[in-house]
Amino acid sequence: MNICGYIPESINEGKGVRAVLFISGCRHACPGCFNQESWDFEAGEPFTAELKSRILKEIAANPLLDGITLCGGDPFFSAEECVDFLSEFKECCPDKDIWAYTGFTFEAVMKQPKLKNLALMCDVIVDGKFNEREKDTSLPFRGSRNQRLVDVSRSVDKGQVVEMNLS
C-alpha cells in the first residue's frame, strides 16, 4: 500500500481536529474528483513499517487530535492493509475515533467481508461516489448531496444506515 499524503492536523475531513492519511488508489474515477492524482495505486510513497510507526507516534503524542481520517484515493481498495494499520492505531490511541471516506455505499461495503472488516473498525464512514451534479460545498465533511455520514455502530445495531447527527 502507498500513501499519497499525510496531514498531521486538519478540521476538514471529519469532526474535530484530525490526522488525515491519504491512501493511494481508486477505481471509482468520479468526474470532478478533487484528488485525481490519488487514483494511481503507486502514487506517493510506500507505507513502510518505519513510516507507519512515525505517524502513529506523532498522532499518539498530539493531545489536540480527536481522531484519524482515512481518505484517498479510496482506502477500501486497500482494506486489508488499512485494517492492519487501524489495529495498531487502536492500540496506541484507544481514545481517538476513526473516520473513512469511500466511493462505495455502506450497504455495498457490508456485503464484502474484507471491506466490512475495515468498516467495522470505523466510527464514521462518508460513503458514496462524488457526484458532480450534486456538488454542494456547504455540506460539512462531504462534497455532494448523495454522500452520507454513516454512524457505523448505530447502523450495525439497527440493521440499516443511520446518518451521524452533527449537532
Q: Are the C-beta atoms of 78 and 1 separated by less than 8 Å? A: yes
Predicted confidence (pLDDT) at residue 167 exceeds the cutoff of 70: no
Give the domain ranges of the chain.
2-158
Contact, 23 vs 82, CB < 8 A?
A: yes
pLDDT, tens digit (0-9, with 9 covering 90-100), for 108-121: 999 999 999 999 99
| pTM (whole model) above 0.85 | yes
Q: How confident is the model at residue 166 (pLDDT cuts 50, 70, 90)?
A: confident
pLDDT tier for residue 165 given thresholds of 50, 70 and 90: confident
**pLDDT value of residue 34:** 85
The pLDDT, as a whole number, for residue 44 is 97
Question: What is the pLDDT averaged over residues 30-56?
Answer: 94
Number of other CB atoms surrounding residue 166 within 10 Å: 8
pLDDT at residue 148 is higher than 90:
yes
DSSP secondary structure, 121-137, as one string: T-SEEEES---GGGB-T
- Options 3.40.190.80, 3.10.20.30, 3.20.20.70, 3.30.70.600; which CATH number does 2-158 get? 3.20.20.70
User: Which value, to the nearest 10 degrees, does the dihedral of the CA atoms of residues 62, 72, 140, 95 take?
Assistant: -30
pLDDT, tens digit, 9 for 90 and up, residues 76-119 = 999 999 999 999 999 999 999 999 999 999 999 999 999 999 99
